[in-house]
Structure 1
Amino acid sequence: MAGSSVSVDLTQAMVTAPVAAADWLIVAPSLITMLGGSLCLMLRKNTQLQPKLGIVFLVLLVLSSAGLLVHVLNHGVITMVMGGWLPPFGIAFTVDPLGATLTLVGSIVALCAGIYGVVTVDGTGRRYGFYPFLLLLMTGVCGAFLTGDVFNLYVWFEVLLISSYGMLILGNDRIQLDGAVKYGVLNLVGTNLFLIATGLLYGIFGTLNMADIAMKVSELGNPASGTIATVAALYFLAFAMKAAAFPVNFWLPASYHTPNIVISAVFAGLLTKVGVYALIRIFVLILPESLDYMADVIGLVAILTLLTGALGALAQSELRRLLGYLVIAGIGSMLAGVAIGSNLAISGAIFYAVHSIIVMTALYMAAGVMFYMGGSYDLRRLGGLYQRSAGFAGLFLVLAFAVSGLPPFSGFWPKVMLVEAAFGDGRAWLGAAILVSGFLTTLAMGRVWIYAFWRGGPEGTPDGTGVAVSGGGAAQLGGAAPWLPMFVLTALIVYFGLQPEWMMNLSIEGAGGVLEPRGYLQSVFGEQG
């Protein structure tokens, strides 16, 4: 009847309590990057304003991500559900130490890239969307790290892939288009596999909320049977493609050397790590029993990825391709941690992911400086850079030691954790592969140092002349923009090497959150979790 009212108890279906002000930090990274990307897009013709506006929003992203990590460390796992619908009906953003840590590290790297791009991205690159694409990329990266829903993870993957396609062809050179085709085709295959697996997962459980699936999997009598095994295999293949694991890694060295060097730096630092993060979420949090019977397969893939990356780096004379293979080798170390699956191993994989994000970004930036100084990315045409800048030579040596896993820098400690976990779990062959890959990486980086810095001049010139190939563009290196990001990232590498306790404890806490997800489940479902 008109005028009659019916009392409805919304507490059974919706969150009726107001959201705490601090909890809005969960969605702040995505909102900041979307807003910043939109404004940069609208003002794309103002090429002088683009860097300033982009950097302001990237600073806000770093601040919000730092606040989010502090909030999580102080209050535990936190959840916000879109539309106020109670899980598993509403799409959840659920943030634990693992997601918050990677969000902050990724934000710092993005800010460094935005500053570095002030010099390396010209007016045409700004006009055609470098800063909007960078902010949109971070929307997808942050969303992937913070979501608590599998389908939402797929959506954020699509957001970062769309922006990465735009960044890859920025400049419209023929070699960029060729690299974009190789990059796009295999990622399209991986995306389809991801979607198929997600559809099967929904068909089995009737939900895509990560916490809800984790609870239902634990109640199954035979979690390794039938469709679930198929889903696990599809997810592994999809994320292995996105992480550039063997044998579906050929797209990375074929594409990462084609765009502007700052874009290569962002890609090398962030994109493959999102694939590894997704593997940890799926196999450790959601389908842990699947990891038991797939561990040997993942371990074999890890070994082949480690060796392929290190040997590929040794075989390269083009610096950017060499660094691309080092990205692949690092993925092998992280996969080794997933294969072992213990707390120490997952902690090592998380620590290594943080290290790899920082060091690979810094190495690509250093490669850009080497090009401006020497005029080429070809090691045969480089030489005498030590004479040009002894300080930069020292900085590069730190990065070379770090990526090789040598003390006293950030790459040493996660490798120690991974090797200890491998030998402790009876997987000596996996620990040996990590050590062999590190040795080969040391040789590859030593070769770069000798060719580019130590010898006096490029190939074909008398050694000791200090002759450099002309046309490098060293005049563009004025100001702090190309140097400040490298110094910041290198300082982090040194700090995590000399004072590893904080990062190590954070990695252990992140690993514990996915291996023993009681806090994660309670954040989503309350005490019933």
Structure 2
Amino acid sequence: MTLSPDLIDTLAPLPVLIPLLAAATTLVLGRRPRAQRYITIGALIAVVAVSSMLLFLADRDGTAAVQVGGWDSPIGITLVVDRLSAIMLVVSSTVLLAVVVYAVGQGVRDGTEHQPTSIFLPTYLALTAGISNAFVAGDLFNLYVGFEVLLAASFVLLTLGASADRVRAGVSYVMVSMVSSLIFLCGIAFAYAATGTLNLAHMATRMDSVPAGTRTAIFGVLLVAFGIKAAVFPLSNWLPDSYPTAPAPVTAVFAGLLTKVGVYAIIRIHTLLFPGGELDNVLMVCGLLTMVVGILGAIAQSDIKRLLSFTLVSHIGYMVFGVALSTEAGLSGAIYYVAHHIIVQTTLFLVVGLIERQAGSSSLRRLGGLAAASPVLAILFLIPALNLGGIPPFSGFIGKIALLQAGAAQGSVLAWLLVAGGTVTSLLTLYVVARVWTKAFWRSRADAPEGVLADRAPSALIDESFDIDFEERADVGRMPAFMLVPTVGLVLVGLALSVFAGPIIDITDRAAADLRDRSNYIDAVLGPQDGER
């Protein structure tokens, strides 16, 4: 059975189209912040609903393709919805909705109080469109467009407030991203020169006839481009200096989502265009070094934001590990771990935003006594922290076990080294989050080296007098309920990944089977193949 053409033609473009139209509308309504907020939240709720329907249909009926503008493939723009892209759409749209509600609660601004037009929400919606476009892109150039939309929106969001640190971080981020984009363009040019097409399905049918050396060179160029975006070692040094300076909601969505777009691109090109495993050993080594170097960097940090940024880099290594195994079990584990990490990493950065508001700082040298002052905040940190550390029965443990089992089943020397490295990294991650817990939550503030900063913080956790007009807040320690609710929601989503791990892994298994059998994707885009088109 196949997807209803009329239904899929209607739904597939909507995760891109809805946020783009909403971005234009909110930009026009810049002087009406309340209308902006309603439109933004409504648009993202619609994207979550559409993405969920696409996942249901893709899981039930298989891969489907939509030809935009009436041009037949492989000439026109193709949008492809399979289980992998639908999973990524559901997880990303859920996180984007939670973060924007949090941002509305925090009263994120796009400049000074004298600036009449808000750009935060329109830019955030443009970021959403770019992410969605990358996930459903059926050709390399449209994937490039998605990344460029991300880059443009990301620079604006990173530099909100125009402080020196944020501008410096934003310029660094843009320079690195521009280098990545130029490398990606070179990879697109090389792939087109070798195959005469940019359509991914069409390219897959022709890539096998390309000489092995040329094919490996093209794969290497694209891996470098996507490795920078995914923060794979040794291309990850830019990340810890770029993300922590941004506002808490921006940091959360960047840490949770943007690197995973790069991981998604690696999975897609590896399984569809280069399934022969030419560079799997290189990917394994990079995955191992990403794990180890990232977590060692986290151990050395005294600021929670930078610490979490290094753990973000470290856990990208698990995903690269699963992809490099080139097995169905490895891909399934990698997809599940991507979904888990998006939710958990985003949640932790939102919790750090609450910590900053409650205690006035995210430095471990200044924090202490938060468990007594804010028990709810302590629980909100503890659950995703244990999840990130891989404590059973949380989803972090389930995802790591799936990857380690896949590595053991593959059985190569490098796979066993990655199994050992993944185990050590998990233990060190647990040490890192336990260190945050003991210093920020468990010890007395009086024992902190610089612990007198925020003794004025009131003990009340929730500010029921939420200021809907977003006047500047002078109080430290009182948080709008709208900041707390989405954080709690993401904690619950993370727990749901554990409670419903069985059905979810069944879906990731089917997604991995689709990726291993390229004919599903190729036939959906080009029609049944009797030979090369």
TM-score scaled by structure 1?
Answer: 0.92
Quick one: which amino acid aligns to residue 170 of structure 2? Answer: A
How far apart are 1:330 and its partner, in Å?
1.4
**Matched AA of 1:196:** C
User: In structure 2, what is the Cα distance between the partners aligned to 1:458 and 1:520?
Assistant: 60
Using the alignment, how far apart are the partners of 1:127 and 1:485 within structure 2?
26
1:13 equivalent in structure 2? none
Letter aligned with residue 66 of structure 1 = S
Q: Corresponding residue for 1:98?
A: 84
Instruction: Determine if contact 1:393/1:453 at 8 Å carries over to the other structure.
Output: yes
In the alignment, structure 1 residue 478 sits paired with structure 2 residue 487: no
Contact 1:372 1:472 in 2 (8 A): no
Task: Show structure 1 runs of 5+ residues with no match.
Answer: 1-17
For 1:144 and 1:461, how far apart are their aligned partners in 2? Answer: 46
- The 1-side partners of 2:453 and 2:394 are apart by 30
SS in 2 for 1:306: helix
Measured in 2, the distance between the counterparts of 1:233 and 1:135 equals: 32
Deviations 1:177-217 (A, max 9, x none): 11011111111111100000101100111111111111122
Partner of 2:67: 81
Match of 1:517, as an amino acid?
Answer: R
| Contact in 1 for aligned 2:68/2:77 (Cα 8 Å) | yes
Checking the alignment, whether the CA contact within 8 Å between 2:366 and 2:449 is kept in structure 1 is no
Q: 1:195 aligns with which of 168, 185, 195?
A: 185
Shift of 1:21: 3.2
For residues 329 and 5 of structure 2, the distance between their equivalents in structure 1, rounded to whole angstroms, comes to 35
Q: 2:312 aligns with which of 291, 302, 327?
A: 327
Taking the aligned partners of 1:344 and 1:122, their CA distance within structure 2 comes to 42
Provide, for residues 423-465 of structure 1, a one-character-per-residue CA deviation record: whole Å limited to 9, x for no partner: 11121101111111111111110000001111121545799x9
Q: Does 1:504 align with 2:505?
A: yes
2:32 aligns with 46
AA paired with 2:427?
F
Paired residue type of 2:168: D
Secondary structure of residue in 2 paired with 1:496: helix
Residue 9 of structure 2 is matched in structure 1 by: 23
Aligned pair partner of 2:130 in 125, 135, 140: 140
Secondary structure of residue in 1 paired with 2:234: coil
Q: In structure 2, how many angstroms separate the alpha carbons of the residues matched to 1:183 and 1:352?
A: 25
- In 2: Cα distance, 1:35 partner to 1:352 partner: 32
Query: Percent of aligned pairs with the same residue?
Result: 35
Say if 1:109 and 1:460 are closer, same or farther in 2 by CA, change over 3 A: closer
Matched, 1:242 2:229: yes
- Secondary structure in 1 matching 2:431: helix
Question: Structure 1 residues 475, 338: CA separation in 2 closer, same or farther (over 3 Å shift)?
Answer: same
> Which residue is 2:462 aligned to?
none
Q: Does 1:298 align with 2:286?
A: no
Give the partner amino acid of 1:294: L
Q: How many residues were matched structurally?
A: 505
For the 8 Å contact 2:106–2:480, the answer to whether it is kept is no
Is the contact between residue 360 and residue 477 of structure 2 (CA under 8 Å) also seen in structure 1? no
Counterpart of 1:115? 101
Q: Which moved more, 1:164-173 or 1:383-392?
A: 383-392
Task: From 250, 257, 262, give the equivalent of 1:275.
Answer: 262
**Equivalent residue of 2:440, what SS?**
helix
Residue 397 of structure 1 is matched in structure 2 by 382
Contact 1:103 1:145 in 2 (8 A): yes
- Range that drifts further, 467-476 or 339-348: 467-476
1:32 to 6, 10, 18: 18
2:440 pairs with 1:455: no
Q: State yes or no: 1:224 paired with 2:209.
A: no
With over 3 angstroms needed to count, the CA separation of the structure-2 counterparts of 1:417 and 1:122, relative to structure 1, is closer
Deviation at 1:224, TM superposition (A): 2.2
Tell me if the contact between 1:299 and 1:335 (Cα under 8 Å) persists in the aligned partners: yes
CA shift in 2, pair 1:447/1:468, >3 Å: farther
Q: Does 1:410 align with 2:395?
A: yes
Q: Which amino acid aligns with 1:522?
A: D
Rounded Cα–Cα distance in structure 1 between residues aligned with 2:522 and 2:66: 13
Partner Cα distance (1:354, 1:385) in 2: 29
- Residue pair 1:79, 1:92 contacting (<8 A) in 2 also: yes
Distance 1:51 1:382 in 2: 33
- Is 1:163 the counterpart of 2:148 in the alignment? no
Q: Does the 8 Å CA contact 1:168/1:263 hold for their aligned counterparts?
A: yes
Q: In 1, are the aligned partners of 2:360 and 2:453 still within 8 Å (CA)?
A: no
Q: Distance in 2 between matches of 1:337 and 1:20?
A: 36
One-letter amino acid matched to 1:96: D
Deviation larger for 446-455 or 74-83: 74-83
Decide which of 418, 423, 430 is 1:442's aligned counterpart: 430
SS at match of 1:81: strand
Q: Tell me how far 1:494 sits from its aligned partner.
A: 1.2
The alpha-carbon deviation at position 527 of structure 1 amounts to 2.1
Whole-Å separation in 2 of the counterparts to 1:307 and 1:469: 40
What residue number does 2:195 align with?
A: 205
1:241-291, CA deviations, whole angstroms, 9 ceiling, x for partnerless residues?
0011111111110010111010000000110000000001111111112xx
Q: Given the superposition, is the C-alpha separation of residues 22 and 86 from structure 1 closer, same or farther in structure 2, using an over 3 Å criterion?
A: closer
CA distance in 2 between partners of 1:399 and 1:275 (Å):
23
Q: Note the C-alpha offset of 1:476.
A: 4.7
Instruction: Name the Cα RMSD after superposition.
Output: 2.0
Instruction: Please state whether the residue corresponding to 1:376 is helix, strand or coil.
Output: coil
Which segments of 5 or more consecutive residues in structure 2 lack a partner in the other structure? 458-472
Residues 462 and 252 from structure 1, CA distance in 2 versus in 1: closer, same or farther, beyond 3 angstroms? closer
Which residue identity is paired with 1:115? V
Is this contact kept in 1: 2:124–2:153, CA < 8 A?
Answer: yes
Counterpart residue type for residue 240 of structure 2: P
Q: Judge conservation of contact 1:344–1:418 (CA < 8 Å) in 2.
A: yes
Q: How far apart, CA to CA, are the structure 2 residues paired with 1:38 and 1:158?
A: 18
Shift in CA distance, 472/330, structure 1 to aligned 2, threshold 3 Å: farther
Quote the Cα distance in structure 2 between the aligned partners of 1:238 and 1:175: 26
1:326 is paired with a residue whose SS is: helix
1:349 counterpart (334, 356, 377): 334
Corresponding residue SS for 2:216: helix
1:15 matched to which residue of 2? none
Counterpart for residue 292 of structure 2: 307
Separation (CA, whole Å) in 1 of partners of 2:108 and 2:259: 27
Task: Please report how far the alpha carbon of residue 468 of structure 1 lies from its aligned counterpart in structure 2 after TM superposition.
Answer: 3.6
Superposed displacement of residue 121, structure 1: 3.3
The answer to whether the aligner puts 1:150 opposite 2:145 as a matched pair is: no
Once residues 370 and 300 of structure 1 are traced to their aligned partners in structure 2, the CA distance between those partners, rounded to angstroms, is 36
